[in-house]
Structure 1
Amino acid sequence: MFIYSEERFNTIYTRYYKKSFIFAKSYVHDDLVAEDIATEALIKLWETMKHEEVLKPLPFLFAVLKNKSLDYLKHTLVRQEAIHIIGDYHLRELSIRISTLKVCDPEFIFSDEISQILEQMLNKLPAQTRKVFEMSRFEQKTGKEIAHDLGITVKGVDYHIAKSLQLLRLSLKDYLSQVLFLFA
């Protein structure tokens, strides 16, 4: 039967650590990871030897090293695939933004079609909401100035602007990316 002692473990560790490290490093290509795998494999060998007789410690050790290295590489592969997928998504999204910006025509933004849609939207608004919107966006007045001029509260101004912007978004939904900066 096997004799369990710290001295025996030190002998095994000294004898097999370098081989274990070299084996793991040849697959994982990372010194720190290879050190961890080698140490964990040696501990696993030792723990097994405490409970049962291991007639061939070197093949047992290399089986543990192989499995731990495989686990690490599989985990790395999954992580790299996730990073790749995320990168592809960001790349596609960036490509779409570039394409959209390339076809953006400043002449179109100020086109008669958008002006007509804006005028139709403004005509649908209640008089007070329209007046607040025009003062805010065309006369560049602040909410406080509009509230003072019209005799309403600043919260009332905010309400009318929000209401008109909601209708504007609906009316210009097909042109939104080109005209966002006009009414922001």
Structure 2
Amino acid sequence: MSGYLYKISRNKILNHIDHDKVRDKYISLLNDFAEAGRYESDFLVREKQLKELIEIEVAALPEQMRKAFEISRNHDLAHKEIAEQLGVSEGVVRNNISRSLKILREKLGPVVLLYLLLKR
């Protein structure tokens, strides 16, 4: 009878230890998941803020430049098609898009660099 009680006790203890290992592993994985979620949430917030800043700067462009830039980026049209829509020459569209990119690069350059550095 004592051998029987010994085996039951030993198996109960081993089962308890195994259960503790599984619980600890589960808690560890849950903590890892929570940490990853925090970083992803932070990244999404920063990305949203950067998009808003870009939208503000695009809205501040002169009207013709802004229209040409938005059509080229949002509708993926060629300069010729944009020129037809706006009723201007293809050269004007090309210059407007080029100048708008230059303006945005100058205004957003440090912000974009900071965004990329913080992205890590």
Query: What TM-score, normalized to structure 1?
Result: 0.35
Aligned partners of 1:135 and 1:146 also within 8 Å: yes
For residues 70-121 of structure 1, give each alpha carbon's deviation from its aligned partner in whole angstroms, at most 9, with x where no partner exists: xxxxxxxxxxxxxxxxxxxxxxxxxxxxxxxxxxxxx56x811211221121
Displacement after TM superposition at 1:178 (Å):
7.0
After superposition, the C-alpha distances for 1:123-174 in whole angstroms (9 at most, x for unaligned) are 2111111110000011111101000111111100011101110111012212
Name structure 1 gaps, 5 residues minimum: 1-106, 180-184
- Consecutive aligned runs of 4 or more in structure 1 exceeding 2 Å deviation: 176-179
Identity %: 33
1:124 aligned onto 2:90: no
1:146 aligns with 2:82: yes
Alignment partner of 1:140: what SS? coil
- What CA distance in whole angstroms lies between the structure 2 residues aligned with 1:154 and 1:125? 19
Say yes or no: does 1:134 pair with 2:85.
no
Where in structure 2 are there 5+ consecutive unaligned residues? 1-42
Q: Is residue 169–residue 176 contact of structure 1 (8 Å, CA) maintained in 2?
A: no
Q: Partner residue of 1:12? A: none
Alpha-carbon distance between aligned partners in 1 of 2:113 and 2:70, rounded to the nearest angstrom: 19
Please tell me whether Structure 1 or Structure 2 has the larger radius of gyration of its CA atoms: 1
Matches within 5 A, 1:7-156: 107=43, 111-156=47-92
> Distance between the aligned counterparts of 1:148 and 1:115, measured in 2?
29
RMSD between superposed Cα atoms in Å: 2.3
Alignment partners' CA distance in 1, 2:107 and 2:52? 11
CA distance in 1, matches of 2:62, 2:101: 13
Residues 117 and 143 from structure 1, CA distance in 2 versus in 1: closer, same or farther, beyond 3 angstroms?
A: same
Per residue, is there more helix in 1 or in 2? 2
Higher relative contact order (CA 8 A, sep 6+): 2
What secondary structure does 1:173 align onto? helix
